[in-house]
Amino acid sequence: MGHRPRRVAMLSVHTSPLHQPGTGDAGGMNVYIVELSRQLAALGTEVEIFTRATAGGLPPTVELAPGVLVRHVDAGPYEGLSKEELPAQMCAFTHGVTQIWAGQRPGYFDLVHSHYWLSGQVGWLVAERWGVPLVHAMHTMAKVKNAALAAGDSPEPAARVIGETQIVRAADRLIANTAEEAAELVRHYDADPMRTAVVHPGVNLDVFRPADGRSAARARLGLPQDALIPLFVGRIQPLKAPDLLLYAVRELLDRDPSLADPGRLVVPVVGGPSGTGLARPERLRRLADRLGLTGLVRFHPPVGQERLADWYRAASALVMPSYSESFGLVAAEAQACGTPVVAAAVGGLPVVVRDEATGYLIEGHDPVHYADALARFAADSGLSDRLGRAAALHARRFGWAATAAGTVSVYRAATESHRFALRSAHG
């Protein structure tokens, strides 16, 4: 086995680990990079995270935690560039990374770990230039996303598919969130199974825990004690299908109009706009009005983890009707807080949620099936607590320490095979 690297260059071009997740381009990947880097530092591997500067006057470096440094790289104008326009800035970003590195002694970084295909493009070049292994995590894949688009959502461009294919070939190791994702990498991108490892993401189990329970959380958030509360948490984008939850709630009300009585039903939507289609939350707000759900559906901007934990605890169930989800961190976080999850049986969600034990997995995207699941919670006031207890136990499998330990194993294997490849190349 190769060595554990002393210092890793983590590449997160299009979104900063310092941004609030839950809106725009900041989501699970940001949380993943922050939590993984912290745990790696605790294991003795320092991390420097390179991200594009998206505002003027940012300090060149910010210490995120002991042993974890964020480096802001100038590449293109600070504001006004969408993620879709970033491919044109990859040369500038790579230049910025190599300039920073030029000031360091040789061998400063032992390994490059890139996240999402844009960073992979940069990682491909810098890893080769530095003579170190490249480990890459896709987070999402264009081919998988395009195969499960929501109505009206725009497909990912062919250029992304080509870029992803190049990185799959170039990386010494690929990290997939689940066995399903690893199989997709092999099936759709011809990845080498021997170089594709599965490491589950995690949950911050110190923050996301049942604590003092559902009714205390409801009291803190000013929510009615006996209401049915199906919760949506995440970026408001077509892929995550918050509209489907609204249609399901309409269906539920048609079956039992008394649920519209004061204090019987609240539907919180926690998160901000992102992407296309439902990009502006007004569209979702208008849909709520059109479906007669005004006042029942309540929109809340993204919140920090401590507050978010209370939203999870307060809910009867978290509802995640996504069309595609490489893991679905919010489903794991909600369960860790003792709240069951009603989720689409897509991507990583069948790993995160145990059907009938910690929540319900729904095949397809018919609001009627989601209404059926919500009706069970409406009919049985003890169901959330019963499934929630199993959910909290199940979620304990997903600590970030385990993610970091698994990642270090991948680093070691990448280091070993990279050395071997170099030795073979030089006879």
Interface with ligand UDP (CB under 6 A): 21-22, 27-29, 31, 233-235, 270-271, 302-303, 305, 308, 327-330, 333
Nearer to ligand UDP, 27 or 163 (CB): 27
Residues annotated within the binding site are 14, 20-21, 25-30, 83, 116, 140, 160, 235, 240, 303, 312-313, 315, 325, 333, 339
Nearer to ligand UDP, 259 or 278 (CB): 278
Nearer to ligand UDP, 64 or 111 (CB): 64
Task: Please state the closest distance from residue 257 (CB atom) to ligand UDP, in A.
Answer: 31
Task: Please state the closest distance from residue 348 (CB atom) to ligand UDP, in A.
Answer: 9
Bridge-based pairing state of the strands 68-73 and 61-65: antiparallel
Identify whether the C-beta of residue 140 lies closer than 8 Å to the C-beta of residue 326.
yes
Task: Please state the closest distance from residue 189 (CB atom) to ligand UDP, in A.
Answer: 20
Provide the b/e sequence for 4-40 (b: ≥16 CB within 10 Å).
bbebbbbbbbbbbbbbebbbbbbbbbbbbbbbbbbbb
70: CB partners within 8 A, 6+ apart: 16, 17, 18, 48, 49, 51, 61, 62, 63, 64
Return the beta strands (E) in 89-192 as ranges. 111-115, 134-137, 173-176
In the numeric block, which tokens belong to residue 360?
């319900």
Residues annotated within the binding site for UDP-N-acetyl-alpha-D-glucosamine are 20-21, 28, 235, 240, 303, 325, 333
Nearer to ligand UDP, 252 or 269 (CB): 269
Nearer to ligand UDP, 163 or 275 (CB): 275
* Residue matched to tokens 């049985």: 380
Residue nearest to ligand UDP (CB): 27
Neighbours of 1 (CB within 10 A): 8
Task: Please state the closest distance from residue 32 (CB atom) to ligand UDP, in A.
Answer: 8
Please measure the distance between the N-terminal and C-terminal CA atoms of the chain and give it in whole angstroms.
21
Nearer to ligand UDP, 274 or 316 (CB): 274
Task: Please state the closest distance from residue 31 (CB atom) to ligand UDP, in A.
Answer: 4
Nearer to ligand UDP, 40 or 132 (CB): 40
Residues annotated within the binding site for 1D-myo-inositol 3-phosphate are 14, 25-30, 83, 116, 140, 160
Task: Please state the closest distance from residue 225 (CB atom) to ligand UDP, in A.
Answer: 23
In the numeric block, which tokens belong to residue 124?
């491909």
Q: Please choose, from the candidates 399, 244, 219, the residue with its C-alpha nearest in 3D space to the C-alpha of residue 313.
A: 219
Q: Please choose, from the candidates 5, 324, 18, 34, the residue with its C-alpha nearest in 3D space to the C-alpha of residue 135.
A: 5
Nearer to ligand UDP, 51 or 94 (CB): 51
Task: Please state the closest distance from residue 83 (CB atom) to ligand UDP, in A.
Answer: 13
Nearer to ligand UDP, 28 or 388 (CB): 28
142: CB partners within 8 A, 6+ apart: 117, 156, 157, 160, 161, 164
Residues annotated within the binding site for Mg(2+) are 312-313, 315, 339
Q: Please choose, from the candidates 411, 401, 398, 406, the residue with its C-alpha nearest in 3D space to the C-alpha of residue 42.
A: 401
Task: Please state the closest distance from residue 204 (CB atom) to ligand UDP, in A.
Answer: 9
Task: Please state the closest distance from residue 308 (CB atom) to ligand UDP, in A.
Answer: 5
In the numeric block, which tokens belong to residue 164?
């992803």
Neighbours of 149 (CB within 10 A): 16
Distance, CA of 186 to CA of 197 (rounded, Å):
11
357: CB partners within 8 A, 6+ apart: 387, 390, 394
Distance, CA of 74 to CA of 81 (rounded, Å):
13
